[in-house]
Amino acid sequence: MNTFSLNLADPIRDAISRIRFAPHSNNLLISSWDSSLRLYDVDSSKLRMEAPGEAELLDCCFENERVCFSAASDGSVNRFLLLDCCSTWVDSLVKCYFINSPATLH
């Protein structure tokens, strides 16, 4: 069995809730209970982006190579748009609607 170990220069400070690889690159997206979303370049083992949040992160996913999402324990879902080759991120809150309820999360 082949194994691969990734030694991260900036280790995660709490439990990891989700790990996702980008669809077509060696970028690794990690959400964790320390409220941060991180993007690592696996080839260089370098942290490319860290986006601190206000609540523990429960999940994360890629939409494509340039867009990802995180979901937090406070009910918020954030969308991250990757700009300038993994160095700059802009985030926005995604409004969530519950089925059978008129309430909207802000």
Backbone torsions φ then ψ of 105, nearest 5 degrees:
-80, 140
Please state the rounded mean pLDDT for residues 36-57. 88
**pLDDT beyond 60 at 104:** no
Q: Which residue has the tokens 């260089």?
A: 44
Please state the rounded mean pLDDT for residues 73-93. 68
**Pair type for strands 27-32 and 77-83:** unpaired
| Intra-chain end-to-end CA distance of the chain, in Å | 47
- The mean predicted confidence, pLDDT, of the chain is 78
What percent of the chain has pLDDT above 90? 31
Domain boundaries, the chain: 16-105
pLDDT of residue 6: 72
Please state the rounded mean pLDDT for residues 89-104. 47
C-alpha to C-alpha distance for 77 and 92, rounded to whole angstroms: 9
pLDDT of residue 92: 60
**pLDDT beyond 60 at 97:** no
Q: Return all residues near 54 (Cβ < 8 A) that are at least 6 apart.
A: 35, 72, 74, 76
Q: What are residue 9's DSSP bridge partners?
A: none
Yes or no: domain 16-105 corresponds to CATH 2.40.10: yes
